Amino acid sequence: MPSWLKDAVFYEIYPQSFRDTNADGIGDFNGIIEKLDYIADLGCNALWINPCFDSPFKDAGYDVRDYKKTAERYGSNEDLYRLFDEAHKKGIKVLLDLVPGHTSEEHEWFLKSKKNEKNEYSDRFIWTDFCFSGSRDYPYIGGESERSGTYLLSFFKCQPALNYGWLNPDESWKCAIDSEAAVATREAMKDVMRFWMDRGCDGFRVDMAGSLVKCDDVKKTGTSLFWQDIRAMMDREYPECALVSEWSQPDIALKAGFHMDFLLNVHGGGYSRLIRDYQNNTDHNILSDPFFTGAAGIDEKGQYEDHSFFKKDGGGDICLFLEEYLNFYNASKGKGYISMLTCNHDTVRPSYNLTDRELKVFYGMIFTFPGVPFLYYGDEIGMRYLNLPTKEGGYFRTGSRSPMQWKRGKNLGFSDAEAEALYLPVDPAGDAPNAEDSLKDPDSLLNMVKALLKLRHSDPDLQADAELEVLYAEAGRLPFVYRRGARILAVNPGSAEVSVRLDAEDRDLIFSVGEGCLKDGILKAGPQSFLVF
């Protein structure tokens, strides 16, 4: 386990939208370098940079054309190497986004795989054995190659699936996970990873990590064997480099070899009920996932009751979250970390339905729970979800990918380009939050995040591996109280003061949003409060 993860707090950067230094309207590596002091001052000591490799950008870079070359829009390979170096000088680690399940249809591997003549890349992707033969279980494309066969897709049409084999091959064109073709794909991905780690990358966030081996095995046995082999390589050659998976099944992902697994806003699970739990009058959970929120029409939230736990007087139930979380937590002990996030490039920003005060209480819990937390750029200032037309395959997700808002003035400090040249428009509202004003306001969301992360870094009891114990959590009741090491923490998202009897001595309040006290065995938590004793 990389030692630095114990005290890591990640900052996720969507590079297109972070900071543009050459006035072309698109963010770049030099823009990230320029803002490293801001990131460090915020309290984040690690970065996750969304895909920055050469790509036709039909899916915002998740369609890689060359794994070993950066996209020109961001700068050269040398610029990225310099970013690694400058970040390391400031004590900041850097993870890149690895997309191992598919490439772009323009990748050299795929162009050669399409040829009729047999070559070393013919089996790098998954092909059926006849031009009119498809797959029963996976989407496929035919009629676009000189070879007679159809190829399977990973997601969008532009993303042909790489071949890691099948757990239980039952047709002649399917190969096993230990076949020559599957092993060759695995070794090619190792080569990509070594290339970047040798040049200063500190590891990878892995896109769709649980989807590599094709099978009907819900326990992901074949894919887990693949990642266990990758982890063995990293333990031998790069023991301080880290892997975090987009899997949202920590009980499986951590056993498979990942150091961390995201607990995502998956439908009916993850932590969707904490921040975005929309229900209709029959009380059926219909929009607990931002993906479904977007699909249903993001502007129609008014017809739903919001029972998110952190919504003021929303009537949310922390037990719905804890039922799943504690199972994952107990299964993950000694194996790795669960990573919760404020949001990411695929989800609606939390400010969509939470006020600044509600966000403060939410962030209080996120940044003091076990595991390694992730902060999405702009969430520290309460950037808003914007209703934008799709860009590069973003669809409803595009609204969470708008440019970072640094200061008042032209393009809110993101770029000196003309507005029509920007990758995406900035928030046009006159009261759009920005980092410069937030830093000057002692009561701002940003300064609350800074203070809380400073406390986390100074206190091992609030870091990744300190024990968690739930002290009070009752359905329909507040507050939620938990222990991390020797610290007692309380969360009250409601509008009224609440109290609970604890078997605990009097304690000092060392951090708070709102007011509260712990005296004579009674913990009192004021309205909309987050408390650390």
Spatial separation of the C-alpha atoms in residues 108 and 112, rounded to whole Å: 6
pLDDT at 218: 73
Among residues 253, 194, 191, which one has the least CA distance to residue 228?
A: 253
Mean per-residue pLDDT, 88-111: 98
Q: Is 299 helix (H, G, I), strand (E, B) or coil?
A: helix
Range name among 97-101, 294-298, 306-310, 420-424 with the lowest pLDDT average:
294-298
- Judge contact between 203 and 190, C-beta under 8 A: no
Check residue 377 and give its pLDDT. Answer: 98
pLDDT value of position 281: 41
CATH superfamily of 3-99+340-461: Glycosidases (3.20.20.80)
| Helix 180-197 / helix 221-237 crossing angle, nearest 10 deg | 40
pLDDT digit string, tens, across residues 433-443? 999 999 999 99
At residue 216, the pLDDT reads 67
| pLDDT (0 to 100) of residue 237 | 98
User: pLDDT tens digits for 495-525?
Assistant: 999 999 999 999 999 999 999 999 999 999 9
Contact partners, residue 412, CB within 8 Å, separation at least 6: 403, 404, 405, 406, 426, 427, 432, 434
Mean pLDDT across 475-492: 97
State residue 530's pLDDT score: 98
Q: What is the pLDDT of residue 302?
A: 47
Q: What pLDDT is stored for residue 292 in this prediction?
A: 39
Q: How many percent of the chain have pLDDT more than 70?
A: 94
Q: Give the tens place of pLDDT for each residue, 196-238.
A: 999 999 999 999 999 999 986 778 999 999 999 999 999 999 9
> To which H or E segment does residue 337 belong?
strand 337-339
Q: What is the pLDDT of residue 285?
A: 36
Q: Return the exposure string of 8-42: e unless at least 16 CB atoms fall within 10 Å of the residue's CB, then b.
A: bbbbbbbbbbbbbbeeebbbbbbbbbebbebbeeb
Q: Residue 303's pLDDT band (boundaries 50, 70, 90)?
A: low
Does 167 or 285 have the greater pLDDT score? 167
- CATH number of 467-532, picked from 1.20.950, 3.30.160, 2.60.40, 1.10.3470: 2.60.40
Annotated domain spans of the chain: 3-99+340-461, 270-337, 467-532
pTM greater than 0.85 (yes/no): yes
Summary mean pLDDT of the chain: 93
Place of tokens 């931002």: 290
Residue 215 CA to residue 103 CA, distance in Å, equals: 20
Report angle CA 115, 135, 180 to the nearest 5 degrees. 55
pLDDT, residue 293, reads: 42
Are the C-beta atoms of residues 280 and 267 closer than 8 Å to each other? no
SS3 at position 51: coil
Buried b (16+ CB within 10 A) or exposed e, 59-89: bbbbbbbbbeebbebbbeeebbbbbbebbee
| pLDDT over 90 (residue 402) | yes
Q: Is the pLDDT of residue 298 over 50?
A: no
Least confidently predicted of 245-249, 271-275, 352-356: 271-275
